[in-house]
């Protein structure tokens, strides 16, 4: 395997393979206070009001944070601690812990996962595995650190409940039936444990390139280190770390189902020179054979489908081949596509 950045991050200067062309570099790393993505209190009593706020945030930003979400602070702290402990292990141990499944359901990679073919590498290592079902996949999760399966198992259950709560609010806001998303549309969630070590020159490189997420929604635990940014009105907005809050964003699948009423926002990760940043992303994914298309109840003669029907696996394979290129993905999913 190519070398994990966490194994050599203190090498100086930043190697050429990580230096992005000037137009893709992060530019300003710090942003004036003021512009920020919405923060929603999910513990509020008024469900109607919560739905209005979540719909407004999903339409205008495609990104928001949630507090009072029902996942305990202790579990969040334990999860982040385990995530950091995993990436702090020696490379041989990490590789060994992620090599148990011949079908590679659990993988450790560096950069984007396309190391051999990408032009530049990202300053990031990533552990990725299915979050459910436990019966099928937990046996392939890392068994070291020793509490990994116990803590990440509990976290997977709680964050999945939170995703269902959020999807219930969104389906009500879209006037879809209750339980709309608790179907094959949310059957195959995955977890990514991202790690961005301190970087010798954060102004020249990226932790993750500008992208939209592929799934229904993503729920990200970003800890207390800055780095995530959202592109809004032609500028990058930093997502302020709020202790124990989750960052939620709309993925392509929900954009397609809602026929563009809700839109995924482009985001990226910048690095810093002093603090390692470890984050946990939970992606709500449909099963591979789910048909993803604009929901019939949301289209009509005046509002025709702007996306075509695709099996999730076909969309996903294509997405992975062109994830950073929003225009290419848009072309592929468009109802006017000539594929």
Ligand X SMILES: O=C(O)CCC(=O)C(=O)O
Could you list the residues that contact Fe ion (CB under 5 A)? 213
**Residue 279 binds which entry of ligand X, Fe ion, none, with Cβ cut-offs from 5 to 8 Å by kind?**
ligand X
Round to whole Å and give the CA distance between 91 and 29.
30
Least Cβ distance, residue 49 to ligand X (angstroms): 28
- 3 state SS of 95: helix
Round to whole Å and give the CA distance between 246 and 68.
10
Alpha-helix residue ranges (DSSP H) falling in the chain: 47-60, 73-88, 91-97, 134-137, 148-173, 252-257, 312-321, 326-333
**Residue 266 binds which entry of ligand X, Fe ion, none, with Cβ cut-offs from 5 to 8 Å by kind?**
none
Nearer Cβ to ligand X (299/326): 326
Least Cβ distance, residue 264 to ligand X (angstroms): 11
The distance in angstroms from the start CA to the end CA of the chain is: 34
**Residue 186 binds which entry of Fe ion, ligand X, none, with Cβ cut-offs from 5 to 8 Å by kind?**
none
Nearer Cβ to ligand X (58/194): 194
Length of the chain: 339
Q: Which chain residues interact with ligand X by CB under 6 A?
A: 192, 194, 208, 213, 220, 222, 227-228, 267, 269, 279, 281
Rounded (10°) angle between helices 312-321 and 326-333? 150
Nearer Cβ to ligand X (132/277): 277
Round to whole Å and give the CA distance between 48 and 169.
9
Nearer Cβ to Fe ion (172/213): 213
Per the CB < 8 A criterion, the answer to whether 110 and 126 are in contact is: yes
**Residue 111 binds which entry of Fe ion, ligand X, none, with Cβ cut-offs from 5 to 8 Å by kind?**
none
Round to whole Å and give the CA distance between 164 and 177.
13
Round to whole Å and give the CA distance between 294 and 339.
18
Least Cβ distance, residue 99 to Fe ion (angstroms): 25
Least Cβ distance, residue 142 to Fe ion (angstroms): 22
Nearer Cβ to ligand X (173/215): 215
- 3 state SS of 20: coil
Least Cβ distance, residue 103 to ligand X (angstroms): 22
**Residue 142 binds which entry of ligand X, Fe ion, none, with Cβ cut-offs from 5 to 8 Å by kind?**
none
Nearer Cβ to Fe ion (37/138): 37
**Residue 162 binds which entry of Fe ion, ligand X, none, with Cβ cut-offs from 5 to 8 Å by kind?**
none
Least Cβ distance, residue 45 to Fe ion (angstroms): 32
Per DSSP (E only), the strands in 147-293 are 190-196, 208-211, 217-221, 228-232, 235-238, 246-250, 267-269, 277-283, 291-292
Nearer Cβ to Fe ion (213/293): 213
Least Cβ distance, residue 207 to ligand X (angstroms): 7
**Residue 220 binds which entry of ligand X, Fe ion, none, with Cβ cut-offs from 5 to 8 Å by kind?**
ligand X
């Amino acid at each position: 395997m190519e070398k994990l950045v966490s194994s050599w991050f203190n090498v100086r200067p930043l190697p050429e393979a990580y230096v992005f062309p000037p137009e893709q570099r992060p530019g300003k790393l710090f942003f004036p206070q003021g512009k920020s993505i919405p923060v929603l209190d999910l513990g509020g009593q008024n469900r109607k009001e919560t739905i209005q706020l979540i719909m407004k945030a999903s339409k205008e930003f495609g990104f928001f944070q949630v507090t009072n979400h029902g996942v305990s602070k202790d579990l969040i702290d334990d999860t982040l601690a385990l995530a950091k402990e995993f990436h702090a292990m020696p490379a041989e141990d990490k590789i060994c812990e992620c090599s148990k499944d011949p079908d590679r359901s659990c993988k450790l990679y560096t950069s984007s996962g396309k190391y051999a073919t990408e032009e530049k590498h990202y300053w990031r290592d990533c552990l990725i595995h299915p979050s459910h079902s436990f019966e099928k996949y937990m046996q392939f999760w890392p068994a070291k650190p020793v509490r990994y399966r116990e803590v990440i198992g509990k976290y997977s259950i709680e964050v999945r409940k939170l995703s269902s709560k959020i999807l219930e609010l969104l389906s009500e806001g879209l006037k879809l039936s209750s339980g709309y998303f608790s179907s094959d549309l949310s059957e195959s969630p995955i977890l990514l444990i991202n790690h961005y070590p301190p970087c010798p020159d954060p102004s020249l490189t990226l932790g993750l390139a500008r992208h939209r997420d592929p799934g229904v929604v993503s729920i990200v635990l970003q800890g207390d280190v800055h780095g995530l940014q959202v592109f809004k009105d032609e500028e990058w907005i930093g997502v302020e770390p709020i202790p124990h809050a989750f960052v939620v964003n709309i993925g392509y699948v929900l954009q397609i189902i809602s026929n563009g009423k809700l839109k995924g926002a482009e985001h990226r990760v910048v690095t810093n020179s002093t603090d390692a940043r470890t984050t946990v992303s939970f992606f709500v994914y449909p099963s591979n054979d789910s048909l993803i298309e604009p929901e019939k109840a949301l289209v009509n003669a005046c509002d025709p489908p702007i996306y075509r029907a695709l099996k999730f696996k076909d969309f996903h394979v294509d997405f992975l081949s062109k994830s950073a290129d929003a225009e290419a993905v848009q072309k592929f999913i468009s109802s006017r596509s000539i594929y």
